[in-house]
Amino acid sequence: MQIWHSAIDIPCDIGTTVVTIGIFDGVHKGHQVVVQETVRQARQRGLKAVALTFDPHPRLVHNPDTPLPLITSLADRLERLEAAGIDAVFVQHYTLDYARQSPQEFVDQQLVDMLHAGVVVAGEDVRFGRNNSGDGDFLRSYGRNHDLTAIILDDVCDLHDGRRWSSTWVRDLLRAGDVRQATQVLGRPHRIRGVVEHGFKRGRQLGFPTANLPGVGVGEIPADGVYAGWLVRTIPETKATEHLPAAISIGTNPQFDGVERTVEAHVLGRSDLNLYGEEVAIDFIDYVRPMMSFSDVNELLCQMDNDLRSTADILSVPVAGRVDPDSVTAS
């Protein structure tokens, strides 16, 4: 898949294209329907399927004081668009100046002149141009007068409660700790990324060494609690991807009067991992329990033993107990 950041990146012989527009944060099931239709239209017509996306997120530009953790990194977004069959992505650097263009200018200058769109595919919630004044009706009207086919798809909704698949819904679910339902909306487990750093090593001393991600770089962090999931890493020697079953703790560690919110992942049964300095991903599969404090360390250890059993059951892997602290190889 080609990645373009400016007009000079676009090949001169690109020809007419089928273009879809969106931020695609999370590339959830609603996005996937639009992307799949874009690819289908392109393949039917013998054209290139192109996605126009934006970085940074427009809301962060218009409301810089309002935090908006992204569901996925730009790299993950691009990877998932490529997996869906998109041939090229134009990553538009989003600025306030860019946002001032009219809908007509956006379609004329970017979609048609720059990206050579002959077909535009978008969801019915598509908005573009100054004050988001451009929409699907504008695209249809423009298309009728300018030899541009506009395909506007209806919203995709959950079959059970009728709610529209959306990035907002995913964020709501993650903030509630409902990573299982978030998986249903996303079509795959929610993922965060971060660099493993040294912690207080309390878990190691108790037989539960953890990979500590105190400053998660990318991804909406779910609500405080314990989760079952996978630690995903690239093995340095072979560059192969490894999925390791893990019990994941999110919170401030109230048992030890912690103040900084961190993500800690204990890989079941492993004491031989040295992950310090590595960027790893965490895929969340299910919620296990809320964050708690206990009357003493023995009560904490008993609960952590239960957490390991619950995690193994959820992930359908063999149960693993505590490891010998003296066998931990990470320094």
- What pLDDT is recorded for position 204? 61
- What pLDDT is recorded for position 331? 62
The model carries a pTM of: 0.86
CA 253 to chain centre: 25
Place of tokens 């193994």: 312
Would you say how long the chain is, in residues?
A: 331
Cα separation, 19 vs 112, whole angstroms = 10
Find the mean pLDDT for residues 140-150.
92
Q: Is the pLDDT of residue 14 over 70?
A: yes
Is the Cβ–Cβ distance between 7 and 93 less than 8 Å? Answer: no
Place of tokens 């990573």: 179
- What pLDDT is recorded for position 268? 94
- What pLDDT is recorded for position 330? 63
Positive or negative, the Cα torsion across 223, 181, 167, 312? positive
Place of tokens 């054209």: 47
Domains delineated in the chain = 2-153 (3.40.50.620), 190-327 (2.40.30.30)
For 148, the 3-state DSSP assignment is: coil
- What pLDDT is recorded for position 256? 53
Find the mean pLDDT for residues 27-36.
94
Is the Cβ–Cβ distance between 143 and 137 less than 8 Å? Answer: no
- What pLDDT is recorded for position 281? 93
- What pLDDT is recorded for position 265? 93
For residue range 279-293, what is the model confidence (pLDDT) as tens digits? 999 999 999 999 887
- What pLDDT is recorded for position 257? 55
For residue range 191-239, what is the model confidence (pLDDT) as tens digits? 998 899 876 566 666 678 888 887 666 678 999 999 999 999 988 778 8
